[in-house]
A and B are shown apart, each in its own frame.
Chain A
Amino acid sequence: MTKNISLNLISGRTIQQGVAIEGGKEKPLYRTAAGIIEMDESDFKKLGVWKNTNVRVTSPYGSVVVKAIETSQGPHPGVAFIPMGPWANSIIDPNTYSTGMPTFKGTPVTVEVAANEPILLGIELVQILCGVKTA
């Protein structure tokens, strides 16, 4: 039974993600910029892993592998951040409360180590989840 921690996930823009989407979402740079989860140092300790380890992030709505990096915009213990994009959107809460707006911010997730699992490129991640491409 691998160790996992529970965090409150938010997603949003970063300047690196902005540059990457304009540079081409098919490129590895996009994965480097948005296929990550920014966690607080204290949460790394709780999870007991080093920075830059691949982790599996799971919510009631899905599961995705991203790279865990230490947040540069903290401290924010208990809060995790995945830049807006296919990785975050694989697991965020789609409930709109009949307002039209999904709940991109404030999804309870569990994070567990997945050191050897690959992080997919943005376009292929979506294609696989949509069944137009097989892994």
Chain B
Amino acid sequence: MTKTITDVVCPFCGTLCDDIEVIVSDDGKKLIEVDNACVIGTEKFLHSQSSDRITRPRMHQDDGSWKEISYDEAVEYTAQMLAKAKKPLMFGWSSTNCEAQSVGNEIAEMSRACCDNTAATCHGTSLIAIQDVGLPSCTLGEIKNRADRIIFWGCNPAHAHPRHMSRYSIFPRGFFTGKGQMSRKLIVVDPRVTDTAKMADIHLQVEQGQDYELLDALRVAFKGEWLPDVVAGIPSEKIREAADVLKSGRFGIIFFGMGVTQSLGKNHNIDEAIAVTKDLNEYTKFSIMPMRGHYNVTGSGEVFAWQFGFPYAVDLTRGFARYNPGDTSTIDLLTRGEIDAMLTIGSDPGAHFPISAVKPIANMPSVCIDPHLTPTSGVSKLHVPVAFNGVETGGNCYRMDNVPIDCRKVVEPPEGMLTDEEFLIKVRDRLKQLKGAA
């Protein structure tokens, strides 16, 4: 006998699909089948079942081998590390729930740490732009119900957010968009002919690194001012054509991704894209939204913000919160040699940071809290495996449009394994003792 759990939330990307169905064994211990999820989401649920899974903490030995230790020993190492460090960095938080993030913030406050999430390498520059010029946006249901102009700028949902197009942005039939895809015009801006670009009505194959110029040219085109013959590799007629398509819609949206946040121009690319959106609200209704990657990176920013006032790159070392990417941001902290201890949770900097920012982690006291084996666990002193968030434990998380959805637990974790939150609570309580003693 099996049972089916409905309305399950997929803990992979910021699309946060909440219509997943999972079939589990009667005793709720084995996960048998996953329906409605994309291939990545399906793999995420199934991998929790792999037989070769690490279920207990391990210390990296000098000879390169690993020694299994108890959770209590892992708690002691982590608490001692944070208590001793002058400038510890607590990084990640994007693949864990808001409850764990909240406990993490208590720990960061007690140990006067720097805390940051994976916006550091995805939408941090978007946040900087939002702080400079704002963000006219909306929820994803608005796109489904109203949008007739869709732009994907420097993002490739066909690969990164597989169900985004069918649930929200291109295909669904909404209240005012009964014809689904037929009622929408799709513009894709990307230096490659991506699988998303192949579906576009208009593909602007921008010269890599010149998105800022192209966005500026669009704003000039809205105003009917003079333009050079070619901008960022695009003929001005084509830019003016795109500008007219955008102005002529009833409700439009710009989705943007790493293509603009990580290319030359960085925050200014987003800044100008937001300006384009503002301009378009003089002619019609337009919104803009970052395609957030990790399923709960948005939630981490929300929790940081209501508890400390800033969405990422928070520096608590002086006893109060400070924020200035370039100084308090993770990549700069690591490459500049600012920190002396590193705790990683719910992310994999080892795989996703430039190698020059990974090397320092291997040379300082470090803890990696992650259910998987990763490059980060591979270079950390201590690896603490935990239950899979969104699979073996629930908890709140925030979708890319900031809509909160409470994740569901579908199976039990392996015997005796702790969740992120449970492990962090033990660390917090131990740290309280150490600080009390000090």
Contact = CB atoms under 8 A, between A and B. Distances in A.
A73 B351 contact: no
Given A86-B351, A92-B354, A129-B358, A101 B121 contact: yes
A96 B329 contact: yes
B35 interface: no
B291 to A, nearest CB: 10
B195 A73 contact: yes
Contacts, number: 197
A132 B205 CA distance: 42
Contacts of A25: 348, 351, 372-375
Interface in B353-394: 353-359, 361-363, 372-375, 378-379
B141 interface: no
A18 interface: yes
B357 A99 contact: no
B375 A127 contact: yes
A74 B193 contact: yes
Contacts of B298: none
A19 B40 contact: yes
B379 A127 contact: yes
B40 A89 contact: no
Contacts of A97: 266, 326
A92 B352 CA distance: 11
A76 B44 contact: no
B258 A105 contact: yes
Nearest to B261: A101
B356 A132 contact: no
Interface residues of A, number: 54
B259 interface: yes
Contacts of B264: 103, 106
Contacts of B331: 94, 96, 100-102
Interface residues of B, number: 66
Interface string B219-249: 0000000000000000000000000000000
Nearest to A127: B378
Given A15-B158, A18-B159, A106-B263, A123 B352 contact: no
Contacts of B43: 19, 22-23
A22 B47 contact: yes
B344 interface: no
Contacts of A94: 331, 335, 354, 356-357
Which of A12, A79, A93 has the most C-beta atoms of chain B within 10 angstroms of its own C-beta?
A12
A130 interface: yes
B373 A123 contact: yes
A29 B428 CA distance: 38
Interface in A4-42: 8, 10, 12-15, 18-19, 21-26
Nearest to A104: B262
A92 B327 CA distance: 21
Contacts of B192: 10, 71, 73-74, 76, 79, 81
B40 A73 contact: no
Nearest to B198: A73
Interface of A: 8, 10, 12-15, 18-19, 21-26, 61-62, 71-76, 79, 81, 84-86, 89-90, 92-94, 96-106, 122-127, 129-133
Interface of B: 12, 39-40, 43-44, 47, 50, 60, 64, 120-121, 124-125, 128, 156, 158-160, 162, 191-195, 197, 205, 208-209, 258-259, 261-264, 266-267, 293, 313, 325-327, 329-332, 335, 348, 350-359, 361-363, 372-375, 378-379
23 contacts: A8-B208, A13-B156, A14-B159, A15-B158, A18-B39, A22-B44, A24-B373, A61-B356, A73-B192, A85-B352, A86-B355, A94-B331, A98-B332, A99-B128, A100-B120, A100-B125, A101-B120, A103-B263, A104-B262, A105-B209, A106-B208, A132-B362, A132-B378
Sorted nearest first, the 7 A-B pairs with minimum C-beta distance are A100-B329, A98-B326, A100-B325, A94-B354, A130-B362, A126-B375, A18-B40
Given A73-B156, A99-B128, 16 more contacts: A12-B156, A18-B40, A25-B374, A61-B356, A72-B195, A90-B355, A94-B331, A94-B335, A96-B332, A97-B266, A99-B267, A100-B332, A101-B124, A126-B358, A129-B359, A132-B64
